[in-house]
Each structure stands twice: as C-alpha cells, then as structure tokens.
Chains A and B, each alone.
Chain A
Amino acid sequence: MASRALWASRAASYLRISVFHRGFSTVLKDLKYSDSHEWVKVDGNSATIGITDHAQDHLGDVVYVELPEVGASVTQGDSFGAVESVKATSDVNSPVSGKVVEVNEELNNSPILVNSSPYEKGWIIKVEVKDTEELNNLMDPEGYTKFCDKEDGNH
C-alpha cells in the first residue's frame, strides 16, 4: 500500500504533476471536482472531463463506457453517460454545462483506461463550456480530498 503511494509520487514527479495523496487514491492539483466524483480540467472555455481515481477504485474494472454523441448538450450535475463495472451501470455526471465537442473513442476498445489512467488516457469527454462561473460550484483538490475522506470514514 505504501509502495503504491511511493510509486505514484515518483511517477507524478517524473510527469511534473502535483499530487495530493489520500491513502490509496490520487487527487490532482489544477483540477476541479464534483460531489459525484468527476474531475474537470478547464482551459479557457474548453473542458476535459473524466472520473476520479477514487471513483474508479470503488467502481472496479470498467468493461464498457456509454459515450454521448458529439454535439450533445450537457448540464452541470446531470448524467451524460455511464460506465459499466461489476454488473452495474453507474451514471457519469457532467461537472459543467455546455456542448460535447469530442468523446474519447479509445474507450470503446479499451474501457480499462478509465481505471489505469483516470486523469490522462481515461478522459471521457471534452466540452465547450457555457458558463465558467459554474466552476465555483465545484470543489478544489483539498476540498475533494476531505469530501472523500468523510465519505469513506462514515462507512
């Protein structure tokens, strides 16, 4: 368990990614987080969205990803697709409102990327953001870390 954290630190250092560590799951700086465990990386009015390391760890191996159509509208807090793992479909909700401009087609062939690389190769959709003010409704990395700790600590 400690070795996994150590490996993650070394990998993060190599990739020049800043990380928090909360036990087993990784939380990245420079991202925003929803209370349903999605992350968003915003660059101007373009956003990349996926599910967090905490989520993929709790879901189990992903065997299928239901992707939206390019051009579809998404609304903050509402479902836009789903992942299947351990005989369950779990909704994936959008942290921002806007229009889908790209989906990660690679997930059709390799859904396991959501588990192995939740913040990089496992991204799910890219969105043209409607209102960047909505980001204020999301958690920063420290807030998300505490949120996950509380959620796991209560159960």
Chain B
Amino acid sequence: MVIPQARNLHLSRMNLVRLKGLPILQQLHIEEKLLRASSENWCIMNDGTNDPTIVMGVSGKPAELLEIESVLRDQVPVIRRFTGGGTVIVDQSTVFVTFICGKDAVPGLQLYPRSIMSWSSLLYNKVFQGTGDFHLRENDYVFGSQKFGGNAQSITKNRWIHHTSFLWDYKVRNMAYLKNPKRAPEYRLARGHLDFICRLKDYMPRTIFVDKTVEAAGTEFSLRPIRLEEIETHYESEYRPSTSLLTEQELKSDIASEQELKSDIASEQELKAATASL
C-alpha cells in the first residue's frame, strides 16, 4: 500500500465522476462549465445517454451533415456542442469519456490538438493493449481501419477538454440520419457509415472497458470520486454554456438557406454557360 500512495504524491489530482444515462445535453453543459469555470482536473464517464440524439461540432451545418427531413419527421434532437470535430448520433449504447485538465495536469504537454490526442491515444493504448489493432488514425480511434470512437476538443489559454463518444453498440437505422460528411479522413475512402464504423462490444465487454479506462486514468492521475450533486452545488456559476439544442425553426431555416445557395449557384452556372455560347 505504501508504494501506490508514494506514487500518487507525484500525480496531479483528478476528480472522477461516474454517471449512467445522463442526458447528453446536460453532460455537455456540465463539461463546458467545468472547462471555463473550474480550476480542477476532471474525468467524466457517462455510461450511455437516454434518447438517441445527434451531436454536431461547433461549426456543423445541419443541411450539409444531416438528412433533415427524416430528423424532423422523427423528432430526433440535434445539439451543437462547444468543441470542434464532426457529427455523431448517440444513445444508450454510447459510452462517453471526458478529460478536462489544467495546462500543468500532464507534465510537458503542449496545449495543441495533436499533442493532446497523442497523449490520449497513449492512455487508451493502456486500455486496449493491442486489442483489435487499436490505434489513433487521422485523429480517430480505430480498430484497424474501422472507427469506434469519435473525439473532439476545446482548448483555452490554460485548460483543455478531450471528450470521446465510444460506439459500444449502435442501431443501423440511426446512422441513416447522418449524411456522409464532406470533410472526412483519407482512410475513410468514401465508405458509408456502416462500412466505416464498428462496435466496441465486438472487442471488449462494456464493464471491462469502463474499468480499464478508470484504471488507465489512475496511472496518470490521482483519482478522487465525486458525485454529480457536488458539481452542481459548486458550479452553479453565471457561465452560460454555448452548447445548445437546435430548434425546429433553426433546422428548417438551414434547409432554406442551403436551397437558396444551391439555386444561386445554379443560376450563376446557367448565366456563365449562356455567356460562353454567345
């Protein structure tokens, strides 16, 4: 018992919050507040969220990324989050792992996206230890050439967040709400969603994954369990998160803007063609 305690003296302290089924909007609001209003380090694990929800990155355009008519018809919630990166659809079978840290939490780490992802991939290497040829590939967590974890980050002057949604399982019909993105990693090779992604459950039991992630985090930080209620008490701050649920109006107006843009482009092309033929 002496050796682990002595080792922990040199590790940064990190609050560990273990959740189950917390709505993803609530999770993101908490994360954004902790990034901006806390000076402590945090690991948040949310084992599944409630209803299927689409989550876009900060610059996501619904008309480009989503089959909006289907989304509206089936009333699937769409969130725009505060971090960068792409679009995911999450549900009870998604496992979320988030690290929120001060700049000195990981000794020697530069606060840039690729540095942070190099660090996180080493941490997850400890979790998977070669299972299924796990590695970080063009900023995605993959087994071989198939993605099972989407990650995103936000970096401030002195703090950073790296959060991941792991596809422990997924429903095929949910992927139909997502278009193939224009910006995609090269290794995707224009594959559709179902050929591009894989299920973590085919590689590791859920409880083992969660336990191994906590264990890996414990090798990097001195973990202190914290209950959700303690966060909500401490951080009832005035900070207003930018993460938001898009309204039906916003989704519909994005379709209208996209159609108007396409119409303008088509008109311009027609005019050029007509001019060229003169």
Contacts and interface: CB of A to CB of B under 8 A. Distances in A.
Interface of A: 36, 58-60, 63-64, 66, 77, 79, 82, 84-91, 93, 151, 154-155
A6 to B, nearest CB: 27
B112 A151 contact: no
Nearest to B116: A88
Contact of B84 (A58, A88, A151, A155): A88
Interface string B115-149: 11100000000000000000000010000000000
A136 B248 CA distance: 50
B85 interface: yes
Consensus secondary structure, chain A interface: strand
B153 interface: yes
Nearest to A57: B112
A89 B83 CA distance: 6
A93 B85 contact: no
What bracket does the count of chain B residues touching chain A fall in?
20 to 34
Residue among A63, A87, A93 having the largest count of chain B Cβ atoms under 10 Å: A87
A115 to B, nearest CB: 14
B157 A89 contact: no
B278 to A, nearest CB: 30
A88 B114 CA distance: 9
Given A86-B84, A86-B113, A89-B84, A63 B157 contact: no
B153 to A, nearest CB: 4
A59 B117 CA distance: 12
A102 B86 CA distance: 30
A36 B151 CA distance: 24
21 contacts: A36-B157, A64-B84, A79-B157, A84-B58, A85-B113, A86-B84, A86-B113, A87-B151, A87-B152, A87-B153, A88-B84, A88-B154, A89-B84, A89-B153, A89-B154, A90-B155, A91-B157, A151-B110, A155-B108, A155-B109, A155-B110
Contact of A93 (B83, B108, B117, B157): B157
